[in-house]
Amino acid sequence: MNSDDIERVRQGWAVAAADPEALTTAFYGHLFRIDPTSRALFGEDMAAQRGKLALTLDFIMGVLDDTDTLVPAARDLARRHVGYGLRPDQYSHAGAALIHALEDQLGTAFGAEDRAAWERVYGALEAVILDTISET
């Protein structure tokens, strides 16, 4: 992930975050389609879960260029998710669901370069998370 990726991701997020309900609803819809077993990890109150996801994504966007904050936060997130029962393979499902949700939200404004930047940024975070999980 480089500064161009960070800028591109932040620009996309600024648009997508204008309607966090639509983005997070699409995310979970795609996630449960990609990985139906993931539905069991969540309670009935998906509104609260969608709110948590929007806040987490917003936080991440704010610290993408601050690895001293981002990496420990990603490691903490990984540890919490282990406690919730997430499997390591489910992080790739979440990444795919996020990309699909962004495509839904941003439409033609989400081009190939945008997608590639989001995939690199998500991949960097996923690597930190999976490394943390392997240590536990």
* Domain that includes residue 89, residue range: 3-135
Task: Give the list of residues 6+ apart from residue 132 with CB closer than 8 angstroms, or none.
Answer: 74, 75, 78, 79
Q: What is the pLDDT of residues 2-56, one digit of tens each?
A: 999 999 999 999 999 999 999 999 999 999 999 999 998 888 889 999 999 999 9
Domains identified in the chain, total number: 1
Q: What is the pTM of this model?
A: 0.91
> What CATH number is given to the structural domain containing 86?
1.10.490.10
What count of other Cβ atoms lies within 10 Å of the Cβ of residue 65? Answer: 13
pLDDT tens by residue, 113-135? 999 999 999 999 999 999 998 88
